[in-house]
Amino acid sequence: MLQDALSGGGRLIIIDDVNCCGRSLLKCSLVAAAHEGDSIHILNFDIPENELRAGLDPEVAMRLVFHDGFRDPLNWNRESVLPTSPFTPQELRVCIGADTSPVTLVLDSLSWILLHNPVPAVCHTFQHFQRHAKNTGLNVKRIISLLHGDLHEPAVVASVCCLASTVVTMMPAPSGGAQAAALVLQRKKSRKIVRVTEYFTVLEHFVLKSLDQHQPLLKMAGDKEETPAAEADPAANLTFNLRLSEEERHAKERLLLPYHLSTEMKSSLLQSHAGAAKIYYEPDAADDMDEEDPDDDLDV
């Protein structure tokens, strides 16, 4: 599932922290996008271009288009390629230019953008940029973002992650052959949410190798363990008896309720008796029939 999440479309967020770096998984997503023939535009703020290219296959590296925000991120030296506030639909559109091939937009990292721009504005651009790009003739297939979860308040992380179609949270792997573990949350178009814990390792040239996965996920912190329904007896401490003995049950089954008519009673009620009176009524044209008072016995 992790491989599908990295190569799928939509908005992908990779959350890491100081104990478990997610940049190797970010590079795996670059490899997956390059193999699909995408043009990969990278806004790099955290590390320089040569570090992002390191270890990648030359065929993958040639598809990378860098928009350098690392060398002079705040444009103090007037050498910045990117504007001071690059994360607006208009500025992103200028960065990508007139690229006619499918585009993968990579934010390394989204944390830098969140720390230097209003959170509501970042969320709005993150959610609507693909649609904005489509209206201007661009095909932005996916947006991949690296988010350092320990740099932000939990509410900020939750707000941004609500807008992503896939969220991958890095975790240290237990002892074994796995290099790391990833907690994958994927929102399907059918509104179904899939959660999977997957162990993986990264091979040469950042090729992802999945080792094992577990579903459903680990319990969230604070969740209480549910007691099986079979262990609880609802009639244990009642002051009255809910159960019937065998004799009481047979007596209940033999009891004929007043509104249950027997076959003999039904036939006697429906059978017409000899000599019974019959009433024939022929309506007259002068009759004043009131549907609300057909018997004409109401004093209105």
Identify whether 273 is part of a domain. Answer: no
Beta-carbon contacts of 106 under 8 Å, excluding residues fewer than 6 positions away, are 26, 29, 30, 40, 41, 42, 43, 143, 144, 145
Identify whether 250 is part of a domain. Answer: no
Identify whether 272 is part of a domain. Answer: no
Over the stretch 41-72, which tens digit does the pLDDT of each residue have?
999 889 998 999 998 999 999 999 998 888 87
Q: Is the pLDDT of residue 168 over 70?
A: yes
Residues β-bridged to residue 201: 209
Range of the domain at 24: 11-168
| Alpha-carbon gap, residue 43 to 39, rounded angstroms | 13
Rounded to an integer, the average pLDDT of 70-75 is: 77
Q: How confident is the model at residue 205 (pLDDT cuts 50, 70, 90)?
A: confident
| Alpha-carbon gap, residue 112 to 172, rounded angstroms | 24
pTM metric for this prediction: 0.67
Identify whether 135 is part of a domain. Answer: yes
Rounded to an integer, the average pLDDT of 234-242 is: 75
Query: For residue 56, which of 34, 39, 41 has the smallest C-alpha distance?
Result: 34
- The H-or-E segment that residue 98 falls in is none
Q: What is the pLDDT of residue 12?
A: 93
Identify whether 139 is part of a domain. Answer: yes
| Alpha-carbon gap, residue 79 to 21, rounded angstroms | 29
CA triple 18-22-25, angle to 5 deg: 165
Q: Is the pLDDT of residue 219 over 50?
A: no
Q: What percent of the chain has pLDDT over 90?
A: 23
Residue 183 CB coordination number (10 Å): 17
For residue 91, the domain's CATH number is: 3.40.50.300
- How many domains are contained in the chain? 1
The first and second tokens of residue 245, run together, are 């003995």
Q: What is the pLDDT of residue 176?
A: 60
Q: What percent of the chain has pLDDT over 70?
A: 83
Owner of token pair 């577990």: 214
Q: Is the pLDDT of residue 217 over 60?
A: no
Beta-carbon contacts of 143 under 8 Å, excluding residues fewer than 6 positions away, are 10, 11, 12, 104, 105, 106, 107, 126, 129, 130
DSSP 255: -
Q: How confident is the model at residue 178 (pLDDT cuts 50, 70, 90)?
A: low
Identify whether 37 is part of a domain. Answer: yes
Beta-carbon contacts of 80 under 8 Å, excluding residues fewer than 6 positions away, are 68, 69, 71, 72, 73, 74
Contact 30, 62 (CB under 8 A): no
Q: What is the pLDDT of residue 84?
A: 56
Over the stretch 243-285, which tens digit does the pLDDT of each residue have?
888 888 888 888 877 777 777 777 777 776 666 677 777 777 6
What's the chain's average pLDDT?
82
Query: For residue 75, which of 86, 66, 87, 64 has the smallest C-alpha distance?
Result: 86
Q: What is the pLDDT of residue 89?
A: 86
Q: What is the pLDDT of residue 75?
A: 72
Q: How confident is the model at residue 215 (pLDDT cuts 50, 70, 90)?
A: low
Beta-carbon contacts of 254 under 8 Å, excluding residues fewer than 6 positions away, are none
For the chain, the distance separating the N- and C-terminal CA atoms, rounded to the nearest angstrom, is: 78
What order do you get walking across the sheet with 193-202 strand by strand? 64-68, 39-44, 103-108, 140-148, 10-16, 166-171, 180-187, 193-202, 208-214
Rounded to an integer, the average pLDDT of 10-22 is: 91
Q: How confident is the model at residue 40 (pLDDT cuts 50, 70, 90)?
A: very high
Identify whether 173 is part of a domain. Answer: no
Identify whether 17 is part of a domain. Answer: yes
